[in-house]
Amino acid sequence: MTALQLDGRHIVLGLSGGIACYKAAELTRLLIKAGASVQVVMTEAAEKFIGAVTMQALSNRAVVTSQWDARPDNNMAHINLTREADAVVVAPASADFLAKLAQGRADELLSLLCLARRIDECPLLIAPAMNREMWAHPATQRNVAQVAADGAVVLGPAAGDQACGEIGDGRMLEAAELCDALIAFFQPKLLAGRTVLVSAGPTYEAIDPVRGITNLSSGKMGFAVARAAAEAGAVVTLVAGPVALPTPARVTRIDVTSARQMHDAVLAAAAAHDVFVATAAVADWRPIDAAAQKIKKVAGQGVPAFSLVENPDILAAVAALSTGPYCVGFAAESHDVEAHARAKLERKKVPLIVGNLGPATFGQDDNALLLVDAKGTRALPHADKLTLARQLVAEIAARIKS
């Protein structure tokens, strides 16, 4: 079961005017599902796009819409709202609202509380949403730059179809992306200033144009490691075999198919990274020659034979670099995990091997890991793969720091 990743966090969710207000309803639901409490604050313009009743029902809190709200004993909603908040998230943040933030204007409650919050204790995250021409306008770009310089975290925007019928930059990130971004924001930045290279997924070795040698790796563990490293503040490059997974936020992805392609991509990047985490399940062998056409089954001719050759050892090659990164290997075994992981540790000459039972985890969302090094072993108990990835990243950060 996935942990409540925002458990105990209190979020002030501000809505300024824009059609993207409809996404704030789903964002509220996701934040609460992740364990957060959510206080919604809406501008008058936002109320033209979505009702306060809807947001109250989803947040289980009365929505605040006016700086003149007399319910607080001191009549100072703009002060009280942020004093217990862990963050203020404005989604959507319209062009007009960005201009207010950049200029320090505070003529309604949402901009007022952003100005009155304790900057060092209550961070501000904004998700711009507007027409592509409005987003591209020099004034908006100046305002966004100023807001970021003042310490706000800018989330997006994305490119895509817009409500006006045009296509381009300015679309607000989806609710799930914003929720993930907020979760990532609160993760300890244990790898700030570091660069991490991750290999993930299977490789595919062609036998003919329609058949090949591969394995059951889904890539989920490797993608979780890439996400966790990015959350921890690292600059992350992900070399991925053929998988159907979305690229984690703030991760540069290189897609490959075969073991040789993965070898070339990893070796080209390895020296520029501080850490290499080899989660990929690389095929040990490949056919010497792939058939140019599909090998047909012909009655009476029996089973076709083909010869195999060994693929390059990517982890060992990186570990052998004179100026290479700190290397972490994975050992997906079907039995005797510790013994096989320790043998791999010695054979590859790397400081850390992470063992797991491959058949029990391939394609699944959870896992259990065994950390094996020269000093001994330590188990990371069964959990969802992102939780395990964060634990592994914390382990790696501690090892490269010492």
Residue 44, SS3 per DSSP: coil
Q: What tokens were used for 83?
A: 């004093």
Residue 300, SS3 per DSSP: coil
**What is the distance between the alpha carbons of residues 112 and 101, in angstroms, rounded to a whole number?**
9
Q: What tokens were used for 227?
A: 């996400």
**What is the distance between the alpha carbons of residues 325 and 61, in angstroms, rounded to a whole number?**
50
Q: Which residues pair with 42 in a beta bridge?
A: 15
Amino acid type, 64? V
Catalytic site includes residue 164:
yes
Catalytic position from the list 21, 114, 164, 179: 164
Find the DSSP H helices in 271-384: 314-319, 337-348, 358-361
**What is the distance between the alpha carbons of residues 25 and 60, in angstroms, rounded to a whole number?**
12
Taking residue 232's Cβ as centre, other Cβ atoms within 10 Å add up to: 23
- Say which residues have a Cβ less than 8 Å from residue 57's Cβ, sequence separation at least 6: none
Find the DSSP H helices in 292-331: 314-319
11 neighbors 87 (Cβ within 8 angstroms): yes
Amino acid type, 23? K
58 neighbors 21 (Cβ within 8 angstroms): no
Report the relative pairing of strands 195-200 and 376-384 from DSSP bridges: unpaired
**What is the distance between the alpha carbons of residues 399 and 327, in angstroms, rounded to a whole number?**
11
Catalytic residues: 164
